[in-house]
Amino acid sequence: MSRQLTRRSVMAAGMGLAAAPLLPAGRSAAADPPLRVGVLVARTGGLVDYGRQQLLGVQRRADALNGAAGHGGAHPAPQLDLLLQDVGDTAATAREAVSRLLDRGVHALVGSPAGWLDDAVTGTAQAACTPLVLPSHGPTPTSPYAFRSAPTDAQVHRALLAAMTAGGQRAAGVLRLDARDNPALREALAAEAAGQGARIVSTETVPLDGTGLADKVKALVAAAPEALLLDLPTPLAAAAAAAAKTAGWTGPVLSTPDAAQAAFHQLAGEAAAGVRAVSPWLPVAAEAPEALPNWSSVRRFAAELGAAPAPSAGYAADAITLLHQAFLGHRDKMAARDQLERACCVGVTGVFNMTADNHAGLAADALTVLTSRAGTWTTLPLAP
């Protein structure tokens, strides 16, 4: 029988697993101590903007689970304890942060909101045999204890290039955060472009503090691409869009999900108009079609958050959901890891079908294309 979730099978599942592990006879989840989840948060340095929405997502989801556990009692016993640790912005600070959380006895970890720290975080978690869910886009994890609750780089590349080529553009210039740049990522994007009949004509990188960004944009424009692809956090993506406009660029600008935050429009000003971003449906939950398998989850979560939420809030909430369900009825790390490899989860970001060979498992329909229009993100394209 196929494990793939359908619209019919997920409507009642909300944000939980389609098939939760059975508890031993006479045992209830309340018999276990609270699940201690260590969360790598960004509170200092250059990652603060990355971290705000992640923290909002984990806290909102944990509050919902703890509230449900109490069944409305005056003093409900919490199901989850979140232990927060500042991740810093280097591999060394990330490893130290994981080590500190492990010393505090966490059962599981939610990774950094910055994907370029994944290797440092994953290595330390793997050494301690501790399940880890990574809430940022990146490659499919290959470590036995690491999983991803965000789109993979391959999914983002595919959606970006499909949006570009659908508009008739076949040559892309890429501006990427230098901390994310590596030969494997370049090769993967070039291969996806070739598969869609397109090519990458130039790639420029910029540091997290934005030094030299305007010059990098000018160099990219000078390479004569037909579209600009931005792989940058929101503040830098906004600055790049503005710099491109100043440099006389009139072609399309497309971005990874990192730019799909409300702050982008204010930061980019007039240059925001017409910029497109591939993203999960969360920033435009009100526009999500009812046929979407996670329609109920994404609309409900967006309503709970109130303000226009960023994709990273959904990634973080889904990380908590996956870990909570994996530890139902026990606090055994190895058993939780095995459960994660069989997870069928309806999340805020989309539907996850994890396997031993795929520790990401996000369904292909999780991403859509947003357009910046009149100071907001929408799935409605600009009028011709």
pLDDT at 21: 45
The answer to whether residue 74 scores a pLDDT higher than 70 is: no
- What is the distance between the alpha carbons of residues 121 and 126, in angstroms, rounded to a whole number? 9
Q: Parallel, antiparallel, or unpaired: how do β-strands 368-373 and 276-279 relate?
A: antiparallel
The CB density around residue 383, as the number of other CB atoms within 10 Å, is 5
The answer to whether residue 268 scores a pLDDT higher than 80 is: yes
The answer to whether residue 78 scores a pLDDT higher than 90 is: no
- What is the distance between the alpha carbons of residues 381 and 28, in angstroms, rounded to a whole number? 50
Instruction: Provide, for the chain, the percentages of residues in helix, strand and coil under a 3-state DSSP scheme, each rounded to the nearest 5.
Output: 45, 20, 40
Q: 29 pLDDT band (50/70/90 cuts)?
A: very low
- What is the distance between the alpha carbons of residues 309 and 262, in angstroms, rounded to a whole number? 8
- What is the distance between the alpha carbons of residues 101 and 122, in angstroms, rounded to a whole number? 13
Q: 44 pLDDT band (50/70/90 cuts)?
A: confident
Label residue 212 left, alpha or beta by phi (over 0 means left) and psi (-120 to 50 means alpha): left
Q: Where are the beta strands (DSSP E) in 130-211?
A: 132-134, 146-148, 171-177, 199-206
Query: What average pLDDT does the structure give for the chain?
Result: 89
pLDDT at 380: 82
pLDDT at 69: 58
- Token pair 């016993």 is at which residue? 77
Q: 5 pLDDT band (50/70/90 cuts)?
A: very low
- Token pair 């659908």 is at which residue? 166
Tens-place pLDDT, residues 225-243: 999 999 999 999 999 999 9
- What is the distance between the alpha carbons of residues 276 and 309, in angstroms, rounded to a whole number? 17
Radius of gyration, CA atoms only, the chain: 20
Tens-place pLDDT, residues 306-328: 877 999 999 999 999 999 999 99
